[in-house]
Structure 1
Amino acid sequence: MSDNCQPNPIEPACEVAAVQQIPLNDELVPSTITASSPVIKVPVVVAERKLQIVVESDITLTPAATEIKRVTKNVFLNQVKLVPVRFLRIGTTDFFEVTRAKLFVSGFIRKDIEYSSSACNGALRDRIADVPFSGFAELTQGDFLTRPIIGISDSSKAHFLNECNDQVPRLDKYFFQNLVKYNEQPYGELLGANFFELDFSPILTEPEGTFSTLREKIVMDLYLKVLQVQQHHITGDRHIPTFDEGTLG
């Protein structure tokens, strides 16, 4: 075999220092289990909904484009508000469960459009556009995983008779009582979005022609979670980690 067929020795071009890691002993921490029935205050899932958002918009491209290369999208929420419209009293209290509500949602779709201009060997252009949307959804009793809770405030006013004449009231003397309940505000959490989109020039162009307006029609399935902080009494086991004996063992 000819010496020319022997491969030349290859040295690493960008060698870096490395340290081999030593395996560590890994064991389960034992626990002492006791019965527990705590009262906890935690976020509770009120509803999980898929909302379909349909928007249409025109986006200006400067310089003009000759071909769209890639479009990426993300969704940002500015508002998720639950407005109750129907209630069910809890026992004899002044607290009510919400059985029907309007869910207001607003935000924008952030689009990143990469396109080429008519220049030969030209650099790719980038256009970022925020497409706003807003709307509401109707939530009925069967849509709630856990019903939101709202406490109603109240105010009272007592009138008095004139001490010198029991036939007329006093207009300068009143007793006021105000009961104010502060409620946990339901809030939203973004889960995900699925985009279906058609982008085109509103004016038909030749293969090498240019267009400066991109018309888009977007159908977005928006997935979100609505939560409210509530207080619940639960029953379960309490796990307390157990360590090896030390000075107190």
Structure 2
Amino acid sequence: MSKRHHSRKYENKLHSGKQEHEITVDKDTIENCEAAVISETLPICENSPCKSEVTPRPVTVKVPVVLTECGITITIQSSLKLEENVLEIKHIRKNVYLNQCKLIPNSEHGKFNNGILFLEGFIKKNIEYTTKDYNTKSVLRGKLKHATVKVPFKSTTKITFKTPPKFKTNITHDEVELLETSIKVCDICEENIAGENICEKNFKLTEFFNEKVFCELICAEIIESDILENPINKDCKSSIEQTFSNITERVVLLLTIRLLQNQHVEISK
């Protein structure tokens, strides 16, 4: 690394009426630096394969099973109002997120191979646009700005399973009857009889915890049309000088969803 220092003095004289002022300016020191790069070549190390311990078949494993994979078309129309007037939209970057993907199993005409899927999410948009700050006959000057907005959406769709999910139906509760050979709990005056004790009740409750159906967002495709509305200066001489306050968006959102459920799968010989 090398350094060079240059220092110079300049004297300027300013005359204001009868007074004379002398100003001395020191030029900043300029340093010229050379970048240093250090690199190293790493050797390749040898490796040897290892044998994993496996369970001999037949076995039963618990793995995610694909129930279905489907494409869903969602149409969205939204209206955006930015803080400043828009002259031109330069670029819009979009990302799709899902907040909810809930399956409600449905039995249609005694068939258990379909269900209703509830979807909820939003499209995150980063909009780059230009504004108009100064305008002359030959020059149109403005600033390039950006704004980030979230466009929510909701939808439901009917799906058909290739592999149906497995659910065990939960029942409420069963009453368990116990035989009493001598009923003298509530009334000591009762006779020694055998039968149901009306002063004591016993119940049996069984609850099954089913595996949850979860979804994966495989692909998201957005086809949209952005329309500038509500012009600000209607008396402009040229259309390229017009600014707008609102943006209307019409979006066709194409989602590819995969539904899975952990199930027990038998791997035979």
TM-score range, shorter chain: 0.7 to 0.9
SS of 1:207's partner is: helix
* CA positional deviation for 1:135: 1.3
Per the normalisation by structure 2, the TM-score is 0.70
Question: Match of 1:226, as an amino acid?
Answer: L
Shift of residue 27 of structure 1? 5.0
**Contact 1:159-1:173 at 8 Å conserved across structures:** no
Aligned counterparts of 2:63 and 2:53: Cα–Cα separation in 1: 25
1:145 aligns with 2:162: yes
Measure how far apart 1:15 and its partner are.
3.9
**Cα distance, 1:226 vs. partner?**
1.0
Question: Contact 2:230/2:245 (CA < 8 Å) preserved in 1?
Answer: no
2:200 maps to what in 1?
173
- State the partner residue of 1:111: 125
Letter in 2 for 1:105: L
Unpaired runs of at least 5, structure 2:
1-32, 135-140, 184-189
TM-score (norm 1): 0.75
What letter is aligned with 1:81? K
Q: Is the 8 A contact 2:69 2:259 kept in 1?
A: yes
Q: Cα RMSD between the aligned structures?
A: 3.1
Between the aligned partners of 1:25 and 1:99, the Cα distance in structure 2 is 52
Query: How far apart are 1:175 and its partner, in Å?
Result: 2.7
User: What is the alpha-carbon distance in structure 1 between the residues aligned to residue 204 and residue 169 of structure 2?
Assistant: 14
Structure showing the higher strand proportion among its residues: 1
1:22 to 2:43 alignment: yes
1:60 maps to a residue whose letter is K
Larger RCO, structure (CA 8 Å, separation 6 or more): 1
User: Computing the radius of gyration over CA atoms, which structure comes out larger, 1 or 2?
Assistant: 2
Q: Provide the C-alpha distance between the structure 2 equivalents of 1:87 and 1:229, rounded to a whole number of angstroms.
A: 24
Task: Give 1:242's aligned residue.
Answer: none
Give the C-alpha shift of residue 102 in structure 1: 0.5
How many residues were matched structurally? 214
Amino acid at match of 2:167: I
Q: Deviations over 1:184-239 (max 9, x none)?
A: 11011111201100001133673111111100000010111111111111136xxx
Unaligned runs of 5+ in 1: 1-11, 90-96, 237-249
Residues 116-125 or 41-50, more deviating: 116-125
Identity %: 29
Give the aligned residue type for 2:224: E
